[in-house]
Amino acid sequence: MKNVLIMTVSTLFISSNITAQEANPTQKDKKAAEKETKLEDPVCHMKVKKSGKITAKHKGVEYSFCSESCKESFVKNPDKYIKK
């Protein structure tokens, strides 16, 4: 019976060890996701993903937008939305 107890304890130890190792990359992913959402739509001031597909370049700076309509408004009158 002693062997069974040792087996159970070591199994518990191994599985808790695996859980601890898995927790670290998950936290890194969350931090990366937070960084990705830091860009702001200059038209409606919504937070948008940096990897978003709706972007426009103005004077060498790339801006991201939540929707095509926001992008259109910006392209028509960029100076209205850029902070000086």
Could you give the string, one character per residue 3-42, with x where binding to Zn ion holds by CB under 5 A and - elsewhere? --------------------------------------x-
CB of 35 to Zn ion, least distance (A): 20
CB of 70 to Zn ion, least distance (A): 3
Residue type, 4: V
Which are the contacts of 78, defined by CB distance < 8 A and separation ≥ 6? 56, 58
Quick one: which of 63, 66, 71, 74 contacts Zn ion (CB under 5 A)?
A: 66
Give the whole-angstrom CA distance, residue 29 versus residue 26. 5
Q: Are 65 and 52 in contact (CB under 8 A)?
A: yes
Write out the residues near Zn ion by the rule CB under 5 A: 41, 43-44, 46, 66, 70
